[in-house]
Structure 1
């Protein structure tokens, strides 16, 4: 699935909790949040909040944790 379109919008995406900019999750971020290293996801700037990509769409809903 082509997710390159996300790069165009990534500078405007913000974490709904911390309002930090979002970035692509790296392998260490994915491992920290209990996801496989090859998964595509976004995290906030400090890596504390995780946002999965489902069917090519980032799920930017606030998480309870």
Structure 2
């Protein structure tokens, strides 16, 4: 039995996103891969948003930092 991994994006949410995008069925492996990809994207946006806040002289990341980093 494979070890369970903690996912930042729960697998049920990953499946829902994929189904909302048109998938009829989603394998467990696809859910895990999608969750891992989203985690990487989220971490990159978080890093960029943190740098934007720091550049602005703030310690607190604000919503506009996230929006700017996501562009």
Task: Answer yes or no: same fold by TM over 0.5.
Answer: no
TM-score (norm 2): 0.24
TM-score (norm 1): 0.25
State the structure with more CA Rg. 2
Structure with the largest fraction of helix: 2
Structure with the largest fraction of strand: 1
